[in-house]
Amino acid sequence: MKQNIYDHPVFFKEYTSLRKSSVTYNDFIEQPAIKSEISTLRDKSILDLGCGTGEFAMYCMENGAAKVVGVDISENMIEQAKRENHHENIEYICMPIEDLALENQKFDIIISSLAVHYIEDYTSLVVKVNDWLKHNGEFIFSTEHPIVTARKEGNNWVKDEDDHKLHWALDHYQEEGKREQHWYIDGVVKYHRTISTLVNTLIENGLVLEKITEPQSIPDGLERMPKLVNEKRRPSFIVMKSRKNK
């Protein structure tokens, strides 16, 4: 199932106003982490899977990339990307990643920021990524951490009667597959996979794992969003860097 939640008017409005605030988990944890894994953008060709509103594509251009192809299922996101992050060397394609067929195009770097947990068939994705990468090319992606996606019920923090967080509830870890949650609206679908599945699928399909990070907030984030201290108790994201070696 391909869900296009970012074209839901309520979700889109809430999500984009959150991102515009620049006081988010993305700004202080995920984006610094994923950017720090990239060897260099200079003269590189980049494929951004789930590119959203194109900020990362523009960051690539500002850092010397040769070209970026950004793909996203959401018309709203792609329209905003074309409006706000237009560049002659960025091509935006509105299409589900699952349907993407890039004949005769190979990339130095494939990035995916917080979109992999929306993809049901992770193996097919990795097979395609391997095909789209040049020899020695990098695949770097972030996804919600499996300890966050595992449990079927929401409210993973177990709290005392004074609303203090006691601990994080982990459950159903080995039961991979669909999870539904409320995030601005009901019925947001994500897919839970174990760490071993995330890693071994890369290895089994011709990629060499180079690094895994479970990022914490940058110092500025702890000042501006004090709740990010809880990332020390359980990480929200996992970032994987792998490389094509054939």
Chain residues that interact with ligand SAM, rule: CB under 6 A: 2, 6, 26, 50-52, 55-56, 71-74, 77, 96-98, 113-115, 118-119
Smallest distance, Å, CB 73 to ligand SAM?
4
* Nearest CB to ligand SAM, comparing residues 92 and 216: 92
Greatest CA separation for the chain: 60
Smallest distance, Å, CB 192 to ligand SAM?
15
Report which residue's Cβ sits closest to ligand SAM.
52
Partnered with residue 55 across adjacent β-strands are none
Contacts of 75 (CB under 8 A, 6+ apart): 7, 94
Beta-sheet strand order (sheet of 107-113): 90-94, 67-72, 45-49, 107-113, 133-144, 237-244, 207-213
Smallest distance, Å, CB 112 to ligand SAM?
7
Smallest distance, Å, CB 166 to ligand SAM?
29
* Nearest CB to ligand SAM, comparing residues 100 and 169: 100
Q: Is there a contact between 81 and 70 (Cβ–Cβ < 8 Å)?
A: yes
* Nearest CB to ligand SAM, comparing residues 1 and 166: 1
User: Which tokens belong to 97?
Assistant: 């990643």
Q: Is there a contact between 22 and 118 (Cβ–Cβ < 8 Å)?
A: no
* Nearest CB to ligand SAM, comparing residues 119 and 129: 119
